[in-house]
Amino acid sequence: MALLLRENIKVATDSIKGNKLRAFLTMLIIFFGITALVGISSAIDAMKGSINSNFTSMGANSFTIRNRATAIRIGKRGKKAKHYQAITYKEAFRFKNEFTFPVTTAVSTMASFNARVKYEAEKTNPNIQVFGADENYLATSGYDLEMGRNFSPQELISGSSMVIIGKDVEFDLFKGKQTAIDKTITVGSAKYKVIGVLASKGNSMGFGGDKICIIPLTNARQYFSKPDMSFTINVMAKNSALLAMALSEASGLFRKIRSVPLGEDDNFEITKSDSLAAMLIGLTSKASMGFIIIGIITLLGAAIGLMNIMLVSVTERTKEIGLRKALGATSDTIKMQFLIESVFICFIGGVFGILMGIIMANAISLYLSSDFFMPWFWVIFGFIICLIVGLISGYIPAKRASQLDPIESLRFE
């Protein structure tokens, strides 16, 4: 049996070598199908991991109060995010002062979404997010200082022109050749002294990340003031066990501050950090299903192409099949030969497709500042799909070859 299997494998490989171009084109179709299936699915898994790690760094025991919902609208039937009246500076700080629960509370505002930052001849692209924040913003937002310090109470009260910059901003302006600390940079149209540089956080999904500047809240109100300026309140409980109680207390207090009548809905939004991550992961899961369907359709096309090529191969090798049968080869042996040939072509294309898929997934993972990972599930799934495609594509041609009459086959021209 083992000898027969080796002989069939040798015949199959000789046939593939004899039709290199045809075999290569078939492998190429399989390659693209498997790359689409394994690569895109693994890349989406990498995105999910990156989203999880980014929101986990904010703490599973934190929540945010803002004047708008966090719904993400996709398509015409997507749910439109609600917008409420802006949260004022007075309301935000009244909440911070009156919320006596054992939590860390920070008040911040988006001063600019697309600022340009300059230092001497160097400047960034106009895509830097500028936040006005208090002393607790770094802790509640999951940022760490790589060098320098946080704002002092006096700087926050007086609205001093001090700034803490993200890692990308530091690299763009100073190129790693000199320290950013104590340098004076231009943020928008105002000059600021750098007092701190944030540790790298990555730019996953565009949430601030390292393209960020943080200035004192009072300063943001002075230099980036706008009529509809709204303030965000970040609250971080001591531990996740206290989160539900803290969230309930915060909701009650803020309803009182905003004078929401009893029985009416909140005119603000409270979002837990992990709920936004769950929502984004849910959306990527839906996208993942779409890409899997595209990959399967591609592989279906590859299977049809492979089946057609194998049928042509049977026709071309009719005389060879007749000779093998005349020399004693059974129908099962002929069938096994063509099945092995079909599976072999699929496996070669599949191996390279899986390798390309892993490279694609880890390139995206690297871009999202995540660690290298091996998508074992999709690797195994890819090999199983290759086997199935090879067997399905090869079965009909193999059966047709095994049923050929040896006498008629030898007469075939």
**Helix residue ranges per DSSP H, 133-211:** 137-140, 153-158, 167-174
pLDDT of 272 higher than 60: yes
Average pLDDT, integer, range 184-196: 94
Range with the lowest mean pLDDT among 30-44, 99-113, 124-138, 167-181? 30-44
Could you read off the pLDDT of 374-411 as tens digits, one per residue? 778 878 888 888 888 888 888 888 888 777 777 766 66
**Read out DSSP for 252-267?**
HHHHHHTTPPTTSPPS
pLDDT of 132 higher than 90: yes
pLDDT of amino acid 206: 44
pLDDT of 191 higher than 60: yes
pLDDT of 90 higher than 50: yes
Could you read off the pLDDT of 46-55 as tens digits, one per residue? 776 666 555 5
Give residue for tokens 């999202």: 368
Distance CA(132)–CA(158), nearest Å, equals 13
CB hemisphere CA count around 252 (13 angstroms): 9
Could you read off the pLDDT of 137-179 as tens digits, one per residue? 998 888 889 999 999 999 999 999 999 999 999 999 998 888 9
Average pLDDT, integer, range 117-140: 93
pLDDT of amino acid 27: 82
Side chain identity, residue 102 = P
Could you read off the pLDDT of 293-304 as tens digits, one per residue? 777 777 777 778
pLDDT of 78 higher than 60: no
pLDDT of amino acid 162: 96
Mean pLDDT estimate for the chain? 81
Range with the lowest mean pLDDT among 11-25, 40-54, 320-334? 40-54
Task: Specify which residues 232 forms β-bridges with.
Answer: 108
pLDDT of amino acid 72: 46
pLDDT of amino acid 22: 75
pLDDT of amino acid 282: 64
Distance CA(386)–CA(36), nearest Å, equals 13
Side chain identity, residue 398 = A
pLDDT of 130 higher than 70: yes
**Helix residue ranges per DSSP H, 261-272:** none
* CA proximity to 219, closest of 178, 162, 268: 162
Give residue for tokens 């909440």: 95
Distance CA(301)–CA(304), nearest Å, equals 5
Distance CA(29)–CA(35), nearest Å, equals 10
Could you read off the pLDDT of 340-373 as tens digits, one per residue? 888 888 888 888 888 888 888 778 777 766 666 6
Give the start-to-end residue ranges of the domains of the chain.
2-54+279-411, 85-267
